[in-house]
């Protein structure tokens, strides 16, 4: 496998054996970025002087064989721009924030630096992270390395595109309606939406039960590695849970005998036939790994889920965007204005809380009898890179729906205390990867990682050297 598509775990092994140095790996990642970035456009900035300084420090540490290395020592990593770094720009993909300088670093940024990662840049987002695709007036259109006409998803689309393209080994994301899991699915990656409070955040969204910062990577083990670095209580976040939850190295053998409920449509979602087929392949892979998989129904409806979610957005994120925009609404993206309008028309926040409880009850009952739920991540094969929301609709088989009705991720933000691991399930006819979600019982993170490892090992997708896109089109673009 080429250096720029190594897993973090493999890179660590090569560093320890001195077959590879952190500087050599950074060289490979930087060269790959220079080659493909003009076509993919996944980075809001590069930080190469700092990165090479960090890589040299890591190289020296590995040269001392008796020194215990930090968890992410020497590993190239990209940060989602939404997670601020003190002294650097914090622009949220918006012309209204252009040139703003952060005075505080996000808690997970502090932890990633302390863990020895080689942070070499930051990744693009849609404006204020309020879209499931990644394009903005500030940073332009970010494209999917698997098919440059299509989006890598959003809002962590820059992180997803960069990982798939080979521009880094690890990346961070955040998720308020699927923003880690959507790009993980469209880009053929693993991503984790931690349960509320597991990872510390920043005000005001650290108080938002829908919102979570989390890890993205090329393997279940890599994502677990980064999750262990960023999880745990923080003095600035009263919602952050203590003690820190430490994941063991994922073990596929531990999945034998686990019980998983397969629900294809979460009630009444329309799902593209190719995605259903790949989800069923994933279910069969778990069965072959010794997992008991049984198909079930949930009594949810898209209408119920969407109305409940908009009531929540109407109480928190919508007013936040409106206040920031102020008199500068002419600078905003159409999808941002539409988000604020929809949020303003939603039911009351109190009605949303009632709806959240009603949605959780059947899931909670189901998970009394099963260790986890398996379902598709998305109903659609893809969306245009420059998707024209709010006017656009998403193709789902023979049906067209609003984007929020194509994201089977949203229910698990509504019931935000459940851990969700997104894992690739195959390739759709349009050349874009598909993915599944493994949804655990509230705060049972370990089980979803065990099942994810079993699925990854059995399907053998991301572990293959031929999995990643070649990107000839991006190079010539």
Instruction: For the chain, 477 residues long, give each residue's pLDDT as a single digit of tens.
Output: 899 999 999 999 999 999 999 999 999 999 999 999 999 999 999 999 999 999 999 999 999 877 779 999 999 999 999 999 999 999 999 999 999 999 999 999 999 999 999 999 999 999 999 999 999 999 999 999 999 999 999 999 999 999 999 999 999 999 999 999 999 999 999 999 999 999 999 999 999 999 999 999 999 999 999 999 999 999 999 999 999 999 999 999 999 999 999 999 999 999 999 999 999 999 999 999 999 999 999 999 999 999 999 999 998 888 888 887 777 889 999 999 999 888 889 999 999 999 999 999 999 999 999 999 999 999 999 999 999 888 789 999 889 999 999 999 999 999 999 999 999 999 999 999 999 999 999 999 999 999 999 999 999 999 998 999 987 655 555
Preceding peptide of 204 cis, ω within 30°: yes
Scan for tokens 């629900």, then name that residue.
263
Where in the sequence numbering do the catalytic residues fall?
Answer: 80, 155, 179
Contact 153, 188 (CB under 8 A): no
How much is the pLDDT for 7? 98
How much is the pLDDT for 276? 98
Indicate the fold that domain 3-476 takes in CATH: Amidase signature (AS) enzymes (3.90.1300)
> Which string of b and e fits 11-35 if b means at least 16 CB within 10 Å?
bbebbeeeebbbbbbbebbbebbeb
Alpha-carbon distance of 309 to 313, in angstroms, equals 6
Scan for tokens 């003009």, then name that residue.
38
What's this model's pTM, rounded to 2 decimal places? 0.97
Q: Would you list the domain boundaries of the chain?
A: 3-476
Alpha-carbon distance of 66 to 356, in angstroms, equals 52
3-state secondary structure (DSSP) of residue 8: helix
Alpha-carbon distance of 19 to 26, in angstroms, equals 14
Which element (helix H / strand E) includes 174?
strand 170-175
Neighbour tally for 357: CB within 10 Å: 12
CA-wise closest residue to 336 among 135, 185, 140: 135
Which element (helix H / strand E) includes 435?
strand 433-440
Residue 464, Cβ density class (10 Å: 0-12 exposed, 13-18 middle, ≥19 buried):
exposed
């Amino acid at each position: 496998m080429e250096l720029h598509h190594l897993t973090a775990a493999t890179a660590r092994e090569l560093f320890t054996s001195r077959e590879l140095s952190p500087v050599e790996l950074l060289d490979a990642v930087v060269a790959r970025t220079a080659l493909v970035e003009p076509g993919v456009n996944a980075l809001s900035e590069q930080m190469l002087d700092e990165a090479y300084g960090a890589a040299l420090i890591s190289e020296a540490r590995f040269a001392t064989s008796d020194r215990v290395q930090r968890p992410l020592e020497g590993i190239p990593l990209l940060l989602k721009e939404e997670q601020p770094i003190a002294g650097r720009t914090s622009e949220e993909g918006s012309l209204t924030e252009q040139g703003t300088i952060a005075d505080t670093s996000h808690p997970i940024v502090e932890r990633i630096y302390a863990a020895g990662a080689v942070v070499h840049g930051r990744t693009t987002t849609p404006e204020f992270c309020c879209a499931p695709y990644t394009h903005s007036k500030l940073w332009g259109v970010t494209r999917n390395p698997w098919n440059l006409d299509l989006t890598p998803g959003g809002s962590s689309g820059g992180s997803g595109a960069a990982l798939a393209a080979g521009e880094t080994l690890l990346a961070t994301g955040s998720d308020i309606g699927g923003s880690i899991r959507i790009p993980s699915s469209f880009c053929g990656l693993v991503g984790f939406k931690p349960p509320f409070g597991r990872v510390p955040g920043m005000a005001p969204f650290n108080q938002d039960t829908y919102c979570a910062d989390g890890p993205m990577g090329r393997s279940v083990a890599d994502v677990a590695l980064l999750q262990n670095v960023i999880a745990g209580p923080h003095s600035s976040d009263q919602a952050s849970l203590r003690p820190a939850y430490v994941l063991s190295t994922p073990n596929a053998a531990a999945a034998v005998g686990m019980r998983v409920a397969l629900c294809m449509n979460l009630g009444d979602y329309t799902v593209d036939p190719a995605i259903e087929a790949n989800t069923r392949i994933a279910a069969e892979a778990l069965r072959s790994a010794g997992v008991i998989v049984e198909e079930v129904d949930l009594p949810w409806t898209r209408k119920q889920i969407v109305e409940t979610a908009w009531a929540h957005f109407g109480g928190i994120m919508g007013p936040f965007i409106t206040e920031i925009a102020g008199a500068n609404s002419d600078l905003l993206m159409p999808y941002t204005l539409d988000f604020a309008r929809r949020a303003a028309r939603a039911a009351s926040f109190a009605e949303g809380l009632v709806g959240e409880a009603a949605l959780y009850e059947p899931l909670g009952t189901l998970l009394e009898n099963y260790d986890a739920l398996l379902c598709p991540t998305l109903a659609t094969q893809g969306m245009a890179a420059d998707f024209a929301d709010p006017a656009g609709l998403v193709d789902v088989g023979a049906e067209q729906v609003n984007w929020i009705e194509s994201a089977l991720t949203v229910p698990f933000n509504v019931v935000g205390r459940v851990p969700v691991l997104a894992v690739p399930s195959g390739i759709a006819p349009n050349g874009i990867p598909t993915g599944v979600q493994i949804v655990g019982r509230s705060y049972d993170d370990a089980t979803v990682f065990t099942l994810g490892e079993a699925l990854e090992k059995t399907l053998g997708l991301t572990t293959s050297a031929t999995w990643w896109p070649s990107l000839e089109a991006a190079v010539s673009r």
